[in-house]
């Protein structure tokens, strides 16, 4: 089965200054003014660059600024990220997410589509579930009698939807009820459990897990096995 590489990084891991950013990234990042948006953007780029370098070289030490600046993490007009290495297509499918002060990046060799999401568990009311979930998903989360457990699973279902919509390249421009999430099991330990997301005309296979008070999800086509970087 194809490997899906994944990496988590924290805001504290991100170097100060901009010498690790490519000229194109500095131009793109300069368009943001809100401090939180800037922090999120930077942690996403740093996580992606470290993931690409680890996947390509196998090295886990902190890369030098020059190696990082040779990589550009850019986005299409639709917001889909892609990576250039030395000005050329990296040949990786890539997805990014962030929550709190953590960034998640997943990589898969092309041809493939992939999406990831990281969400902090929080209470989402019944109106949220009614508005965004399918009937089957609502029945699943409503079958959970423990409020804390239900909140975790609502977060997991929502995260898997986000991952699927990223993989499809549509984001929230698509009705979230057009994709339906099937989780394997309930709240897992800190290890990956399978998930299937059924989209129009295709099924996306992936994984979900907890990491502290957060949920991580990955979906892809073709299916793959998660490998930590």
Give pLDDT tens digits for 43-76.
999 999 999 999 987 778 889 999 999 999 999 9
Instruction: Give the CATH number of domain 2-115.
Output: 3.90.470.20
Average pLDDT over residues 143-168: 92
What's the fold here for domain 117-214?
A: Ribosomal Protein L22; Chain A (3.90.470)
Under the banding of pLDDT at 50, 70 and 90, the label for residue 7 is very high
pTM, full prediction:
0.93
What pLDDT does residue 185 have?
Answer: 67
The backbone torsions φ and ψ at residue 10, rounded to the nearest 5 degrees and listed phi first, read -110, 155
What pLDDT does residue 190 have?
Answer: 74
What pLDDT does residue 56 have?
Answer: 85
Q: Which residue has the tokens 């099924």?
A: 203
Give pLDDT tens digits for 179-225.
999 998 666 567 899 999 999 999 999 999 988 889 999 999 999 99
150 or 71, higher pLDDT? 71
- The answer to whether 185 and 165 have CB atoms below 8 angstroms apart is no
- The answer to whether 104 and 47 have CB atoms below 8 angstroms apart is yes
Domains of the chain by residue range: 2-115, 117-214
Lowest-confidence pick of 8-17, 149-158, 185-194, 196-205: 185-194
- H or E stretch at 67: helix 65-69
Alpha carbon distance 121, 96 (integer Å): 18
Would you say the C-alpha torsion 56, 60, 66, 72 has a positive or negative sign?
positive
Under the banding of pLDDT at 50, 70 and 90, the label for residue 144 is confident
- The answer to whether 213 and 187 have CB atoms below 8 angstroms apart is no
Would the CATH topology of 2-115 be identical to that of 117-214?
Answer: yes
Under the banding of pLDDT at 50, 70 and 90, the label for residue 126 is confident
Give pLDDT tens digits for 84-100.
998 898 999 999 999 98
């Amino acid at each position: 089965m194809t490997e899906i590489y994944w990496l988590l990084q924290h805001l504290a891991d991100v170097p100060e200054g901009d010498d690790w950013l490519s000229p194109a990234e500095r131009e793109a990042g300069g368009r943001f003014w809100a401090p939180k948006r800037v922090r999120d953007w930077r942690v996403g780029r740093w996580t992606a660059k470290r993931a690409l370098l680890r996947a390509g070289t196998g090295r886990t030490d902190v890369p030098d600024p020059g190696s990082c600046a040779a990589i550009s993490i850019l986005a299409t007009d639709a917001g889909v990220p892609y990576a250039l290495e030395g000005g050329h297509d990296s040949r990786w499918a890539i997805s990014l997410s962030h929550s709190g002060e953590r960034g998640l990046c997943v990589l898969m060799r092309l041809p493939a589509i992939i999406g990831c999401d990281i969400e902090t568990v929080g209470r989402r009311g019944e109106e949220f579930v009614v508005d965004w979930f399918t009937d089957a998903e609502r029945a699943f989360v409503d079958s959970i009698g423990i409020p804390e457990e239900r909140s975790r699973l609502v977060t997991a279902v929502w995260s898997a939807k986000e991952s699927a919509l990223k993989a499809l390249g549509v984001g929230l421009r698509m009705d979230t009820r057009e994709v339906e999430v099937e989780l394997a099991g309930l709240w897992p330990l800190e290890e990956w459990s399978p998930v299937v997301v059924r989209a129009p005309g295709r099924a996306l296979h992936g994984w979900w897990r907890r990491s502290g008070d957060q949920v991580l999800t990955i979906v892809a086509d073709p299916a793959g096995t998660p490998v930590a970087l």
